[in-house]
């Protein structure tokens, strides 16, 4: 139950994070948005850790590095998708992660794939195909593929989050090292690029992005540590619902029958995957 409640909080926060990404994308690209988002977390979590005299040293540095690199690449692809697609579409593509989590659990952890899981993957594939169809008919096909790729990488990243939790790693250190690795990666990518300054117009969006992302990351990490892996992963689909509501309220992004059907299939696939 505790894991479920933490994931609900994470879903709300991730939905709000998408709103701030879309607002900030008017003046900042995905690389800059990821940089500021993760720098916020590094300063906040690092500052709190110093005040509490917590230890930064960890025997899990290798796992943190793997998780950080995979998670950073996923975040870049996700922010690009949000910037160029309707919010609910980008979020749904990213939240194919539970479907990929089930698949990767079989491929990497040698878990058994049941009939429910096979049906889940089939429904998820159909849903993704329906959802991506409009992007391939238009000019946003690249953003659509990157959105789907972010879901695959996020599912892979969650496996490492689970391993870190099972190894007894503190949640704040898991989030801190992810943010630190992502900030360093973003800083390297920003070198040699035209500087995109923070202004009075985009600073509120960057601060909102940093705050909601940090809360979401902490809540998600806690959920995977104390909750059942696939149950928690299924509840992450609530972010799709919140994002659809935010998109409709803020940008009048209405969902057609095909999009609703696609989202429903992807959500059902996650539920079935959780029963395996």
Write out pLDDT tens, residues 210-247: 899 888 877 887 887 787 776 776 777 788 888 988 98
The token duo for 136 is 């391939």
What are the strands, taking DSSP E only, across 105-150?
A: none
pLDDT confidence of 52, banded at 50, 70, 90?
very high
pLDDT for the residue 162: 81
What integer best gives the mean pLDDT of the chain? Answer: 85
pLDDT confidence of 153, banded at 50, 70, 90?
very high
The token duo for 71 is 């998670």
The token duo for 153 is 């990488």
Alpha carbons 84 and 98: distance in angstroms, whole number: 23
Q: Give, in degrees to the nearest 5, the angle at Cα 148 between 145 and 149.
A: 85
Alpha carbons 154 and 76: distance in angstroms, whole number: 11
- What is the mean pLDDT of the segment spanning 61-80? 93
The widest CA-to-CA distance across the chain, in whole angstroms, is 54
Alpha carbons 41 and 13: distance in angstroms, whole number: 14
- What is the mean pLDDT of the segment spanning 177-205? 90
Residue reference for tokens 């008919």: 137
Nearest of 213, 110, 91, 109 to residue 151 by alpha carbon: 91
- What is the mean pLDDT of the segment spanning 105-111? 74
């Amino acid at each position: 139950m505790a894991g479920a409640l933490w994931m609900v909080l994470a879903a709300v926060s991730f939905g709000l994070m998408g709103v701030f990404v879309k607002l900030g994308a008017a003046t900042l690209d995905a690389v800059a948005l990821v940089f500021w988002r993760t720098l916020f977390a590094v300063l906040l979590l690092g500052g709190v850790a110093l005040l509490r005299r917590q230890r930064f040293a960890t025997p899990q540095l290798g796992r943190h590095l793997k998780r950080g690199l995979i998670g950073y690449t996923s975040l870049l692809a996700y922010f690009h998708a949000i910037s160029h697609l309707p919010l609910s579409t980008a979020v749904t593509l990213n939240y194919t992660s539970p479907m990929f989590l089930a698949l990767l659990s079989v491929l990497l952890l040698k878990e058994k794939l049941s009939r429910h899981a096979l049906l889940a993957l089939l429904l998820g594939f159909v849903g993704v195909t329906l959802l991506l169809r409009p992007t391939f008919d238009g000019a946003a096909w690249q953003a659509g593929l990157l959105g789907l790729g972010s879901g695959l990488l996020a599912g892979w990243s969650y496996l490492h989050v689970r391993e870190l939790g099972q190894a007894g790693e503190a949640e704040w250190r898991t989030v801190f090292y992810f943010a630190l690795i992502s900030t360093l990666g973003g800083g390297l990518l920003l070198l040699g690029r035209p500087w995109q300054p923070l202004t009075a117009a985009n600073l509120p969006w960057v601060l909102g992005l940093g705050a909601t992302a940090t809360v979401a990351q902490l809540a998600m990490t806690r959920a995977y540590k104390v909750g059942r892996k696939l149950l928690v992963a299924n509840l992450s689909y609530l972010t799709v619902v919140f994002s659809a509501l935010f998109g409709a309220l803020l940008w009048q992004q209405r969902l057609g029958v095909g999009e609703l059907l696609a989202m429903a299939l992807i959500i059902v696939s996650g539920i079935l995957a959780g029963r395996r």
